[in-house]
Structure 1
């Protein structure tokens, strides 16, 4: 890493720490969890523009417009498929005024980056939504179908650049699993990782990559404008309002759900955990959140903490197995 990038990352981490301090009340004097109704920081462990970021800002909007939380703040801390944000959250042990977006991507990031902290080290609050990824190519790409892309990919596995989110995340899992399904050695995949959907889109539009994996809702506007083409969807069945064939419809046995949820710092009081759970439960019932589900084409898979906790454990094992089998990590 260059000295400039190292300094930038250090400055970013410092800025996040300052934001936490400014947005929060003293955790030691706020053990009843009541402060979560006044000020709450939503940590987004990815760059602006991606699914986690969109999720957090939709939560923020719904909380604020319905007086669930008086002053919700969103702070971005990208890096390591969410593991940098995870480490930051774990270090805030006992802080009751912070929640963080998490999901499939972070579970993979923990494995690939051999991260010291795991999602199970946090306090699970709720699972929220699930969406589906798609394979995209530029609008003027010669590839008009998944078969076209696969044919070219087979001829030059290393020469075909596939973009997406961080290595170990959902996008990279899909890219490597797709390669394996169509007879390409997963270890030969030329995968180009980016910090989030906000970086993947310009890479596609500038032809820096030949194809990319990303959330369909993130790039839907570009597809409708003709700037991108969507070749396949990871859903288990056709989705209403999305005119894109699934992998399964194209005889490729590939289905990878991409879920998101929220967790809190470890070591918080039971009162605070309950209060944060109530905040999320109230927020997901608001008209603004229901509208967000429809606009972003998210599937509601809400689970409270008692259901979300065992789900994280089972998903961690599943994602680890997928990553190891696909050759992304040992």
Structure 2
């Protein structure tokens, strides 16, 4: 019994500094925001306690749900398109010669280290209706009917912005997968080679299953990063046309700073934090539940 309590005490003593820092820098700053979300606040002073009225108002707002639809569209593009493409890119890099591998590593990381503003402005020029790259290519191959004003049409604005986001970070995720591949012991591959396994069989039976911890990390990073999508929207469309390209973060910014309704803005922020926590819990609960040991 004494051994049991001494072990628990040791765990508490060694984890206490991290818990204190987490509480001070992560939990405590949320308390004033929650309080503000329960008040009518203009950014400078509290104008009165309104309880849950701010939450009722934002949940009744059509723009709030449009922002959610756009946010989860970006999440879907990032997860269901970006992760498979990143994994395939990582597998492709792994079988290249050292010289080509260095080239692809540099190419993969370059978009991620560029400023979001630079990337957004570059893609704005690609989407330009008159002389932009995409419409020019479509006209040159006789598909002028397929041209669009990509950033001002309802059906194309969010996929266009999502493609920009996907291009910028697909290489970063590929490098994370590639790093995970390099941690897999070589003896697994040597045994598969002796058994005559093909490249596809090695990928499906060895590489991908043993990357589950890395996949879980990249999934969390991609999902939460996509949910915090803001900068590209701000630069490329400023939330337009109308409110059709606003994301949750942009809607929070718009309500708080453009309309000076900071109470409602912080209410959106609180709802957003709860959504992120819930999604993180689901990923932690259902993805890569067993710890792999090589």
Say whether the fold is shared (TM-score over 0.5): no
| More helix by percentage | 2
Larger radius of gyration: 2
TM bucket normalised to smaller: under 0.3
TM-score, length basis structure 1: 0.21
| More strand by percentage | 1
Name which structure has the greater RCO, CA cutoff 8 Å, separation 6+. Answer: 2
TM-score, length basis structure 2: 0.23
